Structure 1
Amino acid sequence: MRYDVIIIGAGSMGMAAGYYLAKEGKKVALVDSNDPPHIKGSHHGETRLIRHGYGEGEKYVPLALRSQELWYELENESNRKLFHKTGVLNIGTKESTFLKNVIQSAKRYDLNAEVLNAVDINRRWEGYHLNEDLLACYEPNAGVLMSEEAIQAYRELAIQYGADLFLNENVERIDIQSDHVTIGLKDKRLHGNQLIITAGKGTNKITALFEQELPLTPIRKTFSWFQAAEEKYKIGSFPAWSFDNGQAVFYGFPSMNKSGPKIGRHDGGIPLTKGEELASFGSYTEDEEDVTEFAKQTMSETLIHKLGKVCTYTNSPDGDFIIDRFKEYPHVMIACGFSGHGFKFSSAIGEVLSQMAIKGNSTQDISFFSLDRFKQGSF
């Protein structure tokens, strides 16, 4: 069988792309070395933030707003609760570039947002005890995505629309011809007109099969849940949030289904070498110490650490995404380097990739995600 599109990597971006392509009537094969949703990539741990005013740059705002629309559509079609409008509080100092970008992008796109000082914040949300030099931009329409539920929804719908899934399969060979590609698995071959690679931390393992290497650094990351006063920190009483004081970057979630508030550190992490397995939570003292000390400094209650997990960021050199075609192989597309802030966009990026495969281009401006910006290699 010859597929219209083969997708290698059926996690956040890949599964979304598979859904949109299959929905458009394309014959799609999704290949993954695991069985998504799973715990070895970047999507597990139940929840992810979706922010609209964007600290990483206002160029992301249109993509964030389109993503939000598509999350609502997926909720309706899948009959799953995927988004909780908890509001997102973006916290920083007056000098924080991140916070300045949030405020500026909110103004430019006329988003529903409110600038608050520390006194305002501590009064409105009893769970906080922020220092007086901090302020924040609050987005009431932003909130929390259920990441694993979302991937499961895309998976079920992609199958309903006719996509074929090849799971727990390692790609051993990629042969690229001028008008098609052949993917070699352990005991089968898949033929496709086009190829999309969304393989996360395994991207360079895949691209090496056709002698390409991208500037990517996989990073081991952790996040934790805490025991805390449920009335103060539960969803409906406490927002989701991000925090950047110029020295450290953290993020967090209210208690969902009495799980306790969740906190992670966005910066830092442990780089991974090729093929290295993720060390379990607690392998490094900072796994628990960083978030526990942060909670002590910013929360009004004593939060008791109760559970930690690990995941992976795949970072590009500038922290921006890579979404492009290979110059030598225009029928081979790549989406990677999501640098720990990509999941919220996976609905829109899935749509972008499907449009690129079907129409040749996207309705979204993705020019700033081009491989050309690195000016290295042939790409």
Structure 2
Amino acid sequence: MTAVEEKLQLPRIYKQTVKMALYDLCIVGAGMMGSAAARHASEKSGVKVCLIGPQEPKIREIVSGNEVFGTHYDEGRIMRATATSPLWADLAKRSEERYRELENLSGVQFYHEIGALTVGTRYGQFIGRTKSSLKGGPKGYDNVEILAAKELNDKFPYLTFADNDEGIMEKSRAGYINPRKMVMAQIVVAVNQGCDVIRDIVLNIEKLQGVYKLTTERGKIIWTKKVLLATNAFTGMHQLLKNPVSYKAMPQTVTLAAVSENTAKRLSQMPVVLYEGKGGESWSKTYPRDSSDNIQFYLLPPIKYPDGKYYIKIGHSDDILKGSLELTDIRKWYSGKGDEELEEELFKLLDTIFHGVRFENHHGDACATMVTPGKQPYIDLLSPTLAVALGGNGYAAKSSDEIGRIAADLILTSKWTYDIPKENFKVKFHVPSKL
């Protein structure tokens, strides 16, 4: 643990005693988007900001008492600017431009620039959409290398691909971020800029005589002129908006497969991998396919986790899921290890994708993503004093700094000044909000 990380354990940040005050802005939700918004809002001179959200529990069990969790409870999330969605690609690029600045300001390292490899069936829609996201096309994008199947297998001999697969290798400014440490970095900088951090859960938001009264689980009353909600999949849990926004909480299962330290060193230059296609001949035949008969997955290289072990992580797409979670089930889901059958299928697929790699053991982990109807983020003003930054859709970790920056500017100025049309970020409600 570094000196900065040790500093973060001090009560000054995580168990801060906050004097009764009227804040200019309270951000509800201390995950990746909320912490980013707190950092960007608190850098404005004369703006008094607080960030409210629970700390990560030491043990994720139902009996622990926690009912609100975060998708950032992990050591690895993919960073790439090549994406099938131009909007998400743009948000990722703009965020990445500030990663090193954030590391320098906080003293917390979270960005690992090892490259990103997108692979799929040649001439398939996935590869085609990814190529179209490159400004100027692949030939005009000096950060990208197009790899045929033979080149893929030669360049990455520890992985197996199909003879008709094609790869797009993003050589720099791509890799993975550590979401726990990224949130840590955002909070360190926000606190150094004067932001108060309250480790609690907001149960109710009420507007009284032009200001908001926030009531927390521990009985705190917080007064603020403006509110930004960054509560993601837990947004509907306490009906903070009285009427729910339109979204689904999608259950995510990942397999964490342990490898030896020597294997981790051997694969230290392995890029992150995203795949959508027909799959290799040697791959598991029982892994569920999407409606187009494709296999989809994402893969991260060996990463050292808090237990001291190195794990390769593989995850799935939403296309193979049977349905979304009810709000009443999210707490139980986060306290478990995901879908056991799906976790086994993920490991079988992983074991057949790799060549010459021995896995010591494997286990599952679970989280939930907030998926909006258009799979785009909600960054919107509901009133001049109330805004939301929601809808990660499984893509927001890499883009969270830019999302937080947009949301902070929006709520502080009460107007849209961003260079991308606001219609791309407009929130959808089941019925109009009453707050």
Instruction: Return the TM-score normalized by structure 2.
Output: 0.79
Query: Is there any run of 5+ residues in structure 1 with no aligned partner, and where?
Result: none
CA contact (8 A) 2:212 2:226 kept: yes
Query: How much does 1:317 deviate?
Result: 2.0
Contact in 1 for aligned 2:371/2:392 (Cα 8 Å): yes
Q: Following TM superposition, by how much is the alpha carbon of 1:36 offset from its aligned partner in structure 2, in angstroms? A: 4.5
Bigger mean CA offset, 61-70 vs 104-113: 104-113
Distance in 2, Cα, partners of 1:232 & 1:172: 44
- Any conservation in 1 of the 2:205–2:215 contact (CA below 8 Å)? yes
Cα deviations across residues 197-235 of structure 1 (Å, max 9, x unaligned)? 0002111234x2442211111122122222347448755
Partner of 2:408: 354
Answer whether contact 1:281 1:287 (CA < 8 A) is retained.
no
Question: Which residue is 1:61 aligned to?
Answer: 89
1:70 to 98, 104, 111: 98
Aligned to 2:109: 81
In 1, Cα distance between equivalents of 2:367 and 2:22: 35
Identity %: 22
Distance 1:130 1:350, change over 3 A: same
Distance 1:283 1:343, change over 3 A: closer
Query: Which TM-score applies when normalising by structure 1?
Result: 0.89
Distance 1:37 1:161, change over 3 A: farther
> Deviation per CA, 1:259-317, whole angstroms, max 9, x where unpaired?
13221113244622123223355563324222122213422235534232211111112
Asked if the contact 1:58–1:101 (Cα under 8 Å) also holds between the matched residues in 2, the reply is no
Q: CA RMSD in A?
A: 2.5
| 1:136 and 2:167 correspond | yes
Q: What amino acid does structure 2 have at the position aligned with 1:308?
A: G
In structure 1, how many angstroms separate the alpha carbons of the residues matched to 2:362 and 2:51?
Answer: 36
Which residue does the alignment assign to 1:286?
341
Larger radius of gyration: 2
The answer to whether the 8 Å contact 1:175/1:210 transfers is no
Change (3 A) 1:159 1:99: same
**Contact 1:234/1:260, CA 8 A, preserved across alignment:** no
Q: 1:12 aligns with which of 16, 32, 41?
A: 32
Alignment of 1:211-230 (within 5 A): 211-228=242-259, 230=262
Paired residues, number: 372
Distance 1:255 1:232, change over 3 A: closer
Alignment check: 8 A CA contact 1:233 1:254 kept: no
Q: Matches of 2:136 and 2:210 in 1, distance apart? A: 43
Correspondence for 2:187: 155
Q: Note closer, same or farther for the CA distance 1:196–1:232 as it changes in structure 2 (3 Å cut).
A: closer
The amino acid that maps onto 1:293 is K
How far 1:16 sits from its partner (Å)? 0.9
The 5-angstrom pairing of residues 190-339 of structure 1 reads 190-206=222-238, 208-228=239-259, 230-231=262-263, 234=266, 236-245=268-277, 246=292, 247-257=294-304, 259-267=310-318, 268-269=320-321, 271-276=324-329, 277-279=331-333, 281-282=336-337, 284-301=339-356, 303-304=358-359, 305-326=361-382, 329-339=383-393
Task: Measure the CA separation in 2 of the matches of 1:231 and 1:334.
Answer: 43
Q: How has the CA–CA distance of structure 1 residues 23 and 108 changed in structure 2, closer, same or farther, with 3 Å as cutoff?
A: same
SS of 1:30's equivalent? strand
**Residue of structure 1 in register with 2:78 after alignment:** 49
Offset of residue 343 of structure 1:
0.7
1:237 Cα shift?
A: 2.9
| Secondary structure of 2:181 counterpart | helix
- In 2, the alpha carbon distance for the partners of 1:50 and 1:153 equals 17
Tell me what 2:42 maps to: 22
User: 1:51 Cα shift?
Assistant: 0.9
Partner AA of 1:300 in structure 2: H
Measure, in 2, the Cα distance between the counterparts of 1:283 and 1:82: 26
Query: Take 2:266 and 2:317, find their aligned partners in 1: how far apart are those partners?
Result: 22
- Is the counterpart of residue 378 in structure 1 residue 432 in structure 2? yes
**Structure 1 residue aligned with 2:152:** 121
SS in structure 1 of the partner of residue 374 of structure 2: coil
* Mapped pair 1:170 → 2:217: no
Contact preservation (8 Å) 1:252, 1:261: yes
Is 1:108 aligned to residue 164 of structure 2?
no
| Separation in 2, partners of 1:118, 1:289 | 28
For residues 204 and 348 of structure 1, what CA distance do their matches in structure 2 show?
A: 24
